[in-house]
């Protein structure tokens, strides 16, 4: 079975006995609804060097009538993936998709007596199934279990499907919680002991807002939500997280009982409601132990900041959706996530809709990652054998282009993102290298390193030494062909500025192998 394994403190996805690094794209929402349409896309995904496609399974399409399942589109999806040597991560578009229940079957949508909706404070219904209804939970669970049983039947030998995302971007809108009578009753009832017991047991570990909030109000047990957490907006978020996580965790647990693939929940990175933002991880963990991890959908320029918040001892990083950036930036982000944060993988949203130019650029970045994957995965197991490089960027997109330095082995690597030559007149700043900046460094031997990425210069020093200096013995461009390093040009003279630096040119993703030496 595909599974998650923690080795040397790092969680990896293991597929057929070997660690696996996802290079993927998540289909645009509608793309898996028509097999002829989908089948035309596979060649594009191959050209982009994907090894995995993340694809929705729509509740309304697989259960058009209650209890009658039709897996035609799922079967076609698996057949297409297999024919193109591709793996799949499936998205369960069940009760909630971007908070709303738009993928519930008609027989659910049209019967709100039986399948109650969440409500606004004034009693108006929302197109959101209430997480307080056991009928809703049972209906979603029955469909999800049918899907997982079907996967067991058709895929337990081949392992085309690697993981499953349960629901999609959960979290109440426009209010942070449900105000239906059942929800209000729960809000005024005691906080379940399972949550306060979890908070008590993880008191020192949590160090987060929820733990602090609980402490501030006296670490109460057996009191209602407002008495336990106060009457601010955080209480509504905790309450919503608890109810939606209980529901989603129950769906996941039942699905795992049928076919135990790793299961995760993705997060829209916007505040308000119970979505698993890092401050609500504890609530989610207490409520939904069957969920293996929480995955951020990163559409903001401050990629590194968000990715770092989701890489924790108790949470491996996986980026199911990224976008709203140019393709070279997405490529640079992928390098950083895989090498610096030991991600399970990286995926771009709606790759089939990218321009031909962006598809080409992303494909080039993924091709380099493909060649380096065995080394990246091995490096994840050996602390301090690999480095990921990405200049930090603020939420509004301002990139900080000051040089970044990293120690690896005996050497210090300094990445510079501004033009290095010819020198600018005193008092002026070198212009930025155009385009995206980022990449990785992998140590092969004491003096032997691979660097890959885009848009930067690297200079070298001796780590921790005031006396010794580092020089370049050689720089080779090259590729890995069937896992074997195959050098191209030896980059010398003008191409390494007479031994002063290594360049990873802008606008493309390349690999360089550099041999360093020390001198006084």
Give residues in contact with ligand DGJ (CB under 6 A).
29, 98, 168-169, 297, 321, 349
Virtual torsion, Cα 12, 84, 153, 56, nearest 10 deg: 70
In the complex with ligand DGJ, which residue's Cβ is closer, 310 or 501? 310
Using CA atoms, how far apart are residues 357 and 375, in angstroms rounded to an integer?
28
321 membership: H or E segment, kind and range:
strand 321-322
- What count of other Cβ atoms lies within 10 Å of the Cβ of residue 407? 14
Pull the structure tokens for residue 410: 């005996």
In the complex with ligand DGJ, which residue's Cβ is closer, 167 or 279? 167
In the complex with ligand DGJ, which residue's Cβ is closer, 169 or 240? 169
In the complex with ligand DGJ, which residue's Cβ is closer, 299 or 485? 299
* Residue 169 C-beta: closest distance to ligand DGJ, Å: 4
Given a contact cutoff of 8 angstroms between Cβ atoms, the answer to whether 381 and 8 are in contact is yes
* Residue 459 C-beta: closest distance to ligand DGJ, Å: 39
* Residue 163 C-beta: closest distance to ligand DGJ, Å: 16
* Residue 56 C-beta: closest distance to ligand DGJ, Å: 8
In the complex with ligand DGJ, which residue's Cβ is closer, 235 or 347? 347
Pull the structure tokens for residue 128: 């959101």
SS3 202: coil
- The answer for residues whose C-beta is within 8 angstroms of residue 28's C-beta and 6 or more apart is 349, 350, 352, 353
In the complex with ligand DGJ, which residue's Cβ is closer, 186 or 268? 268
In the complex with ligand DGJ, which residue's Cβ is closer, 275 or 437? 275
Strand partners, 5: 12
In the complex with ligand DGJ, which residue's Cβ is closer, 93 or 259? 93
Residue number with the smallest Cβ distance to ligand DGJ: 169
Using CA atoms, how far apart are residues 277 and 305, in angstroms rounded to an integer?
13
* Residue 297 C-beta: closest distance to ligand DGJ, Å: 5
In the complex with ligand DGJ, which residue's Cβ is closer, 349 or 411? 349
197 membership: H or E segment, kind and range:
helix 193-201
Closest CA to 22 of 165, 162, 167, 164: 162
Using CA atoms, how far apart are residues 205 and 493, in angstroms rounded to an integer?
54
In the complex with ligand DGJ, which residue's Cβ is closer, 97 or 513? 97
Given a contact cutoff of 8 angstroms between Cβ atoms, the answer to whether 504 and 513 are in contact is no
* Residue 28 C-beta: closest distance to ligand DGJ, Å: 8
Is the link from the previous residue into 422 a cis peptide, with omega within 30 of 0?
yes
Q: Where are the beta strands (DSSP E) in 323-403?
A: 345-349, 386-389
- What DSSP character marks residue 187? H
Pull the structure tokens for residue 331: 């490529």
For residue 468, give Cα distances in angstroms to 356, 406, 416: 48, 17, 21
* Residue 295 C-beta: closest distance to ligand DGJ, Å: 10
In the complex with ligand DGJ, which residue's Cβ is closer, 179 or 349? 349
Pull the structure tokens for residue 220: 């109460």
SS3 85: coil
Using CA atoms, how far apart are residues 214 and 210, in angstroms rounded to an integer?
6
In the complex with ligand DGJ, which residue's Cβ is closer, 63 or 169? 169
* Residue 182 C-beta: closest distance to ligand DGJ, Å: 27
- The answer for residues whose C-beta is within 8 angstroms of residue 83's C-beta and 6 or more apart is 42
Which phi and psi (to 5°) does residue 126 adopt? -115, 160
In the complex with ligand DGJ, which residue's Cβ is closer, 103 or 281? 103
* Residue 131 C-beta: closest distance to ligand DGJ, Å: 18
For residue 361, give Cα distances in angstroms to 142, 261, 320, 358, 518: 42, 32, 19, 5, 36
Tokens 């580092």 -> residue? 470
* Residue 431 C-beta: closest distance to ligand DGJ, Å: 33
* Residue 154 C-beta: closest distance to ligand DGJ, Å: 25
* Residue 349 C-beta: closest distance to ligand DGJ, Å: 6
N-terminal to C-terminal alpha carbon distance within the chain:
54
* Residue 407 C-beta: closest distance to ligand DGJ, Å: 38
Using CA atoms, how far apart are residues 477 and 444, in angstroms rounded to an integer?
15
């Amino acid at each position: 079975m595909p599974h998650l394994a923690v080795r040397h403190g790092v969680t990896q996805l293991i597929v057929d006995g070997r660690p696996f690094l996802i290079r993927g794209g998540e289909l645009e929402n509608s793309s898996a609804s028509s097999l002829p349409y989908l089948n035309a896309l596979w060649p594009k995904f191959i050209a982009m060097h994907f090894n995995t496609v993340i694809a929705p399974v729509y509740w309304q399409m697989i259960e058009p009538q209650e209890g009658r399942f039709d897996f035609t589109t799922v079967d076609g999806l698996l057949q297409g993936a297999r024919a193109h040597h591709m793996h799949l991560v499936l998205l369960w578009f069940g009760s909630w998709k971007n908070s709303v229940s738009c993928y519930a079957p008609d027989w659910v949508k049209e019967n709100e007596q039986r399948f109650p909706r969440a409500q606004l404070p004034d009693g108006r219904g929302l197109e959101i199934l209430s997480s307080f209804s056991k009928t809703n939970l049972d209906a979603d669970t029955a469909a999800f279990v049918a899907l997982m049983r079907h996967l067991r039947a058709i895929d337990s030998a081949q392992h085309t499907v690697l993981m499953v995302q349960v629901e999609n971007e959960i979290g109440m809108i426009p209010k942070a919680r449900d105000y239906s009578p059942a929800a209000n009753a729960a809000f005024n009832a005691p906080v379940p002991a399972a949550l306060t017991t979890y908070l008590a047991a993880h008191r020192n570990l949590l160090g987060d807002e929820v733990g602090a909030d609980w402490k501030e109000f006296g670490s109460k047990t057996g009191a209602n939500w407002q008495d336990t957490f106060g009457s601010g907006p955080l209480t509504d978020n905790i309450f919503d997280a608890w109810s939606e996580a209980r529901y989603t965790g129950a769906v996941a647990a039942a699905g795992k009982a049928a076919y135990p693939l790793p299961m995760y929940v993705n997060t829209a990175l916007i505040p308000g409601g119970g979505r698993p933002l890092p401050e609500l991880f504890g609530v989610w963990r207490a409520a939904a132990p069957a969920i293996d991890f929480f995955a951020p959908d990163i559409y903001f320029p401050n990629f590194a900041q968000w990715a770092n918040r989701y890489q924790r001892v108790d949470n491996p990083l996986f980026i199911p959706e990224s976008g709203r950036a140019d393709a070279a930036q997405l490529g640079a982000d992928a390098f950083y996530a895989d090498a610096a944060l030991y991600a399970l993988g990286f995926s771009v949203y709606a790759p089939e809709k990218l321009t031909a130019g962006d598809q080409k650029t992303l494909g080039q970045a993924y091709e380099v990652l493909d060649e380096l994957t065995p080394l990246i995965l091995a490096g994840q197991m050996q602390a301090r054998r690999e480095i990921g490089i990405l200049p930090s960027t603020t939420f509004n997109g301002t990139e900080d282009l000051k040089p970044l330095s990293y120690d690896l082995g005996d050497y210090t690597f300094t990445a510079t993102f501004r033009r290095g030559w010819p020198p600018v007149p005193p008092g002026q700043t070198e212009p930025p290298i155009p385009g995206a900046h980022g990449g990785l460094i992998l140590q092969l031997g004491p003096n032997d390193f691979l660097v890959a990425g885009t848009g930067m210069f690297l200079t070298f020093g001796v780590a921790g030494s005031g006396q010794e200096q580092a020089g370049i013995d050689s720089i080779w461009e090259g590729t890995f062909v069937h896992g074997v390093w195959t050098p191209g040009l030896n980059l010398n003279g003008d191409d390494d500025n007479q031994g002063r630096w290594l360049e990873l040119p802008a606008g493309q993703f390349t690999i360089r192998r550099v041999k360093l030496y020390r001198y006084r």
